[in-house]
Structure 1
Amino acid sequence: MQLFIGGTCAGKRGVVRQRFEEPRWHSAHAGGRLEAWPSVADTSCLVLEGWERWIGERLAAEPDDDRLRQAMARELDALRDWEVAQGGQAVLIVVEMGRAVVPLGRENRRLRDLNGWLAQDATARCERVWYVWNGLVKGLTR
């Protein structure tokens, strides 16, 4: 797996389009549900974006942050298993939310916390991590 992380409108999608040949997109922004990604995984390169929306959709249904984080981690593990079984490449696009003002509302704070944990969990599972800022790309190491 590869992770592309950066702020909103930082150029992540453009960088992914340049680096991967014929990627198949599964996006929350286009109405895709996270758990539906296997239905579009008939490709050599699967791009998943909109993680902040997928987290946001689950906030009301799951009051326990640890359980929600574990559910998201299971999705990451399933993607990694798909890569091994199919020989494909999963590409994650995640919005970095940790550098701005922390909102007062509880649900908005939960969203930022869970998005940050998702980024950490994805980083631990990805072979490459890229930070995108103003269209510039920098490879990160652990």
Structure 2
Amino acid sequence: MRVIIGGAYNGKRKFVKEYLDKLNIKNRYVFEGEIPASTYSKEDYVVIGSFEKIILQSIELDEEEHAARIFQKLSVLDEHTNVICVCTDIGRGIVPLQKEDRKLRDTCGRLYQKLFAESEQVIRIWYGLPEILKGGD
């Protein structure tokens, strides 16, 4: 599994597209706000973004439990194919005023910690510039 993280509109998806183009990957599937079923092969690349929307589908769950469930689904998918997670950094130290917004931010943070720890590669995109935080390629 690979993780691409950065702020909103910082070029994460463009980076992933160029990365897959460079590798000449034809079998790529992009999902926004959902984790697909694991019906893909090891040659396929599944790109998943908009984790905030995934989290909001069950925001009433405990943050830690919710993050663990999402991570488990991603792990099962990653056993069968190549997963690239496109994560938007929604925290940056700002504490939202609304309780629901804080819960979303906190759940994203817990999920991202799990993703970073278990992923083979983590890249931060800062206005189009990639910075490898973990792993190499």
What's the TM-score once normalised by structure 1's chain length?
0.82
Equivalent residue number for residue 24 of structure 1: 29
1:74 aligns with 2:79: no
Q: Which runs of 4+ in 1 moved over 6 A?
A: none
1:9 match = 9
Q: Which residue of 2 aligns with 1:128?
A: 121
* Corresponding residue for residue 85 of structure 1: none
**Runs of 5+ consecutive residues of structure 2 not aligned to the other structure:** none
CA contact (8 A) 1:69 1:114 kept: yes
Preserved CA contact (<8 Å) 2:32 2:48: yes
**Secondary structure, counterpart of 1:5 in structure 2:** strand
Deviations 1:41-97 (A, max 9, x none): 35611101111110012103x2x2222122112112212322xxxxx3111100011
Equivalent residues of 1:45, 1:89 under 8 A apart: yes
User: Counterpart amino acid of 1:25?
Assistant: V
CA RMSD of aligned residues (A): 1.8
- The equivalent residue for 1:54 is 54
Q: Which runs of 5+ in 1 are unaligned?
A: 83-87
Matched residue, 1:41? 40
Correspondence for 1:103 among 93, 96, 99: 96
Aligned residues: 129
Query: What's the offset of the Cα at 1:40?
Result: 6.2
The two structures have a TM-score, normalised by structure 2, of 0.85
Query: Do the aligned partners of residues 56 and 110 (structure 1) sit closer, same or farther apart at CA in structure 2, a change above 3 Å counting?
Result: same
Q: Report sequence identity in percent.
A: 27
CA positional deviation for 1:100: 4.9
Amino acid at match of 1:122: L
